[in-house]
Amino acid sequence: MAHQPDAGAQPLEQYRAYLRLLAGLQIDPRLRTKLDPSDVVQDTLLQAHAKREQFRGHSDGEMAAWLRQILANQLAQALRSFGRQRRDVALERSVEVSLEKSSSRLEAWLAAGHSSPSQQAARNEHLLRLADALARLPDDQRTALELRHLQGEAVADIARQLGRSEPSVTGLLRRGLKTLRDLLADPP
């Protein structure tokens, strides 16, 4: 069996699209003019880099979980700053749980739950590739796919949120999935 490098030695940059996807799912659309998910992710990666020696895991999955926890803290801090609130542990826990659910939906989109360590490593790699591919989609297709497959929204609700007809949203979903499959079919 080939030796797999320690996840702590891997560049944090490979998680940017994944974290951006999760952050985008957590930020209320009404706050998007004030709070950009990319800024929160940048702060997350800076903090992770500064605290890299605190990471005790060995796998990509453990690294992703560690980064999700930092992201949850950064999101809670950013959301607090807009509400001018003191630290709210319940808010931080709520954001962390919500991030975990979004990540679980993303993973479920890729594979079944029972897998070997090598299958889990491959799934983590696919998860990062999926996040990168989603980031490359046109905004309307990406938003429709995120709402449908990662947040579990109904087509009618997505249509209302996007100000489009249901057939239009169905088309966005169909084209988005096709483009996503094409992007994932091409090796990185």
What is the pLDDT averaged over residues 130-143?
90
For residue 20 the two structure tokens come to 């951006």
Whether residue 95 is predicted with pLDDT greater than 70 in this model: the reply is no
Structural domain spans, the chain: 11-136, 137-188
| C-beta neighbour count of 2 within 10 angstroms | 4
What is the pLDDT averaged over residues 177-188?
83
Class of domain 137-188: mainly alpha
Instruction: Render pLDDT for 105-115 as a digit per residue (tens, 0 to 9).
Output: 555 544 444 45
How many percent of the chain have pLDDT more than 90?
Answer: 24
For helices 16-26 and 89-110, angle between their N-to-C axes, nearest 10 degrees: 120
What is the pLDDT averaged over residues 140-168?
90
What is the pTM for the complete model shown? 0.62
